[in-house]
Amino acid sequence: MSGLPRPADGLSRITIMQGETRVSDDPGVILTTVLGSCISACLFDPVTKVGGLNHFLLAEPGAGETDARSLQRYGVYAMEVLINAMMAMGASRSNLKARIYGGASLRDGFRDIGATNALFARRFLRDERITLVGEDVGGHGARRVEFRPTLGLARCRIAVDRPVERLRAPAIVPRPAAPVGDVEFF
């Protein structure tokens, strides 16, 4: 990923959107993303100085979902794409280290997609024997992540920290009591 224009600090920032994955061996690159309930895995190989970041929306597809474009939003796909892209650039699977970010719970009363995503990411890394060296997941705030892929260094800041939006029950308006002795027909 060389040849990119560099700002005054000499670093090129590449924004990763939902369903995307980027890998780099350029020490002047910073991969960045903003997360709510989504998860980003930052993987790096400290020996070959190759790293990458993905951004996935949901852990795993439902039964029968096979459209390649929709698969990009799932962690099971995003993690394999990231690992394979890193290996194509010379990384060794046995050297990989990981950091995970995101997984916030942004709405109360709904299924906690963020927690499901975080559990998936941890399980995937454990099953693949990739060491998890850091994480910042859960809570109620959106996060901004910046990752230096060749160094394996990440910075995560809460971009928006707000109270959980609660589902509101419809207001029940009490009927005024009928005066004693009166009969009301409807």
What is the CATH number for 149?
3.30.1330.200
pLDDT tens-digit profile of 145-186?
999 999 999 999 987 655 555 555 555 556 666 556 565 554
Residues 72-101 have a mean pLDDT of 94
CB 118 within 8 A of CB 48: no
* The model's pTM: 0.77
CB 35 within 8 A of CB 146: no
Catalytic residue positions, numbered: 38
pLDDT tens-digit profile of 98-125?
999 999 987 766 678 899 999 999 999 9
Backbone angles phi, psi at 115, to 5 degrees: -65, -40
Position 176 in a domain: no
Position 93 in a domain: yes
Position 183 in a domain: no
Position 120 in a domain: yes
**Overall domain count for the chain:** 1
Position 19 in a domain: yes
* pLDDT bracket for residue 72 (50, 70, 90): confident
Position 178 in a domain: no
Domain residues for the domain of 34 are 12-161
User: Six-digit token pair at 185?
Assistant: 């027909």
CB 23 within 8 A of CB 48: no
pLDDT tens-digit profile of 34-65?
999 999 999 999 999 999 999 998 877 666 66
Position 170 in a domain: no
